């Protein structure tokens, strides 16, 4: 029986600590953490992510602005809004919900966010800081994975970790975090992608596999060896006529097939997913409190 890594429980613990620290910050320094959330268009998944982030802000006592603009909003209007938030002292974190409509250049928008308010950690300055080990905002999902491994005392130092997926928001940053020379990382990391003609050759040699692929139940037990730790980042909607919504969420790992041979595994839902919002709230708190020394 594998240890089930309970991201819901860990995230609730982090959020409860943040709530207490937020109360103290308000009392001692008169600072209320503030976040600005931008949603452009009506993508249902994006709307639900933004609603969850707003709810988390309310529960923690953060100040939040949610701007929901129509799909046809010109790029210049989005850039102007971010410019204003960059200069708004009430706002310590700016989050633009991706994907943006096709006529808006995502990179341009990401670059327009002041790096010291980039609580998503997507700005190239923050990514560069991550790579060379300087303080900066770490992307939320990868940071959440590190927190889960730490919480369950699953060692990474000297371990071979195979990350399947090289996206800028998950695969690349988590791989870069995990090989850093510090006790919470120090792993030997392999990044796999569609260029791997025999993916099993890599995943079978892994102590820890991190799946960030975007393909439902792609990783099955034949990809893995006994005792492996499995972190499933995938969030995939698959048809499920028995569910009132008509679909269910599954990960990139075939949980039922893999769990018997794994030593620890994250479920979907309830594994990595809840950690993402918790780390966003943590980044915003660090920005507001000044605990993150952004300067070199």
Ligand X SMILES: NC(=O)c1ccc[n+]([C@@H]2O[C@H](COP(=O)([O-])OP(=O)(O)OC[C@H]3O[C@@H](n4cnc5c(N)ncnc54)[C@H](OP(=O)(O)O)[C@@H]3O)[C@@H](O)[C@H]2O)c1
Q: How far apart are CA 185 and CA 157, in angstroms?
A: 6
CB of 168 to ligand X, least distance (A): 8
What does the block give as tokens for 78? Answer: 């989005």
Instruction: Using the structure block, give the residue that is written with the tokens 């910050």.
Output: 25
53-245-3 Cα angle (round to 5): 65
Catalytic residue among 117, 118, 120, 217: 120
Q: Is the Cβ of residue 86 or residue 190 nearer to ligand X in the bound state? A: 190
Q: How far apart are CA 254 and CA 154, in angstroms?
A: 21
Q: How far apart are CA 112 and CA 76, in angstroms?
A: 11
Q: Is the Cβ of residue 154 or residue 196 nearer to ligand X in the bound state? A: 196
| 7 contacts ligand X (rule: CB under 6 A) | no
- Annotated active-site residue 120? The verdict is yes
Among the listed residues 91, 102, 97, the one whose alpha carbon sits nearest the alpha carbon of residue 122: 97
Determine which residue in the list 33, 136, 173, 273 makes contact with ligand X, applying CB under 6 A.
273
Determine which residue in the list 165, 219, 223, 229 makes contact with ligand X, applying CB under 6 A.
165
Q: Is the Cβ of residue 141 or residue 156 nearer to ligand X in the bound state? A: 141
For ligand X, the binding residues in 168-197 under the rule CB under 6 A are: 169-171, 192-196
| 200 contacts ligand X (rule: CB under 6 A) | no
Handedness of CA 189, 120, 77, 80 (dihedral sign): negative
CB of 111 to ligand X, least distance (A): 19
Catalytic residue among 13, 29, 84, 97: 97
Q: How far apart are CA 214 and CA 232, in angstroms?
A: 10
The strand order across the sheet containing 34-40 reads: 63-69, 34-40, 93-96
- DSSP three-state, residue 196: coil
For ligand X, the binding residues in 123-152 under the rule CB under 6 A are: 141
- Annotated active-site residue 6? The verdict is no
Asked if the peptide bond before residue 135 counts as cis, ω within 30 degrees of 0, the response is no
Q: How far apart are the first and last CA of the chain?
A: 46
| 167 contacts ligand X (rule: CB under 6 A) | yes
Q: 189 near 179, Cβ under 8 Å?
A: yes
CB of 194 to ligand X, least distance (A): 3
| 269 contacts ligand X (rule: CB under 6 A) | no
Instruction: Using the structure block, give the residue that is written with the tokens 């960030």.
Output: 212
CB of 85 to ligand X, least distance (A): 23
CB of 241 to ligand X, least distance (A): 22
Tell me which residue has its CB nearest to ligand X.
167
**Backbone dihedral region for residue 201 (phi beyond 0: left; psi -120 to 50: alpha; all else: beta):** alpha
Q: Is the Cβ of residue 94 or residue 191 nearer to ligand X in the bound state? A: 191
Q: Is the Cβ of residue 40 or residue 277 nearer to ligand X in the bound state? A: 277
For ligand X, the binding residues in 203-242 under the rule CB under 6 A are: 212-215, 233-236
Size of the site for ligand X (CB under 6 A): 26
Binding residues vs ligand X (CB under 6 A): 141, 164-167, 169-171, 192-196, 199, 212-215, 233-236, 252, 272-273, 276
Residue numbers annotated as active site: 53, 97, 120
């Amino acid at each position: 029986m594998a240890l089930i890594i309970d991201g819901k429980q860990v995230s609730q613990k982090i959020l409860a600590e943040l709530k207490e620290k937020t109360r103290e910050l308000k009392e001692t320094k008169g600072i209320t953490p503030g976040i600005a959330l931008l949603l452009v268009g009506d993508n249902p998944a994006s709307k639900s992510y933004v609603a969850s982030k707003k709810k988390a802000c309310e529960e923690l006592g953060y100040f939040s602005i949610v701007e929901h603009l129509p799909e046809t909003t010109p790029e210049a209007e989005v850039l102007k809004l971010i410019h204003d938030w960059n200069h708004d002292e009430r706002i310590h974190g700016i989050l633009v919900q991706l994907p943006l409509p096709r006529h808006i250049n995502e990179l341009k928008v990401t670059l327009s966010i002041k790096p010291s308010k980039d609580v998503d950690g997507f700005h190239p300055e923050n990514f560069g800081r991550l790579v060379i080990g300087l303080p900066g905002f770490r992307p939320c999902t990868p940071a959440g994975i590190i927190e889960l491994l730490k919480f369950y005392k699953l060692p990474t130092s000297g371990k071979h970790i195979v990350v399947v997926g090289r996206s800028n928001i998950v695969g690349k940053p988590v791989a870069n975090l995990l090989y850093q020379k510090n006790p919470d990382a120090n792993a030997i990391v392999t990044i796999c992608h569609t260029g791997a003609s025999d993916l099993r050759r890599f995943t079978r040699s892994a102590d820890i596999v991190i799946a960030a692929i975007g393909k439902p139940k792609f990783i099955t037990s034949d990809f893995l060896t006994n005792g492996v730790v499995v972190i499933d980042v995938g969030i995939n909607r698959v048809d499920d006529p028995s569910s009132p919504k008509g679909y269910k969420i599954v990960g990139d790992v075939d949980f039922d097939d893999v769990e018997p041979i794994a030593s620890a595994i994250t479920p979907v839902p309830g594994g990595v997913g809840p950690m993402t919002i918790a780390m966003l709230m943590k980044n915003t708190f660090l920005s507001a409190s000044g605990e993150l020394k952004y300067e070199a």
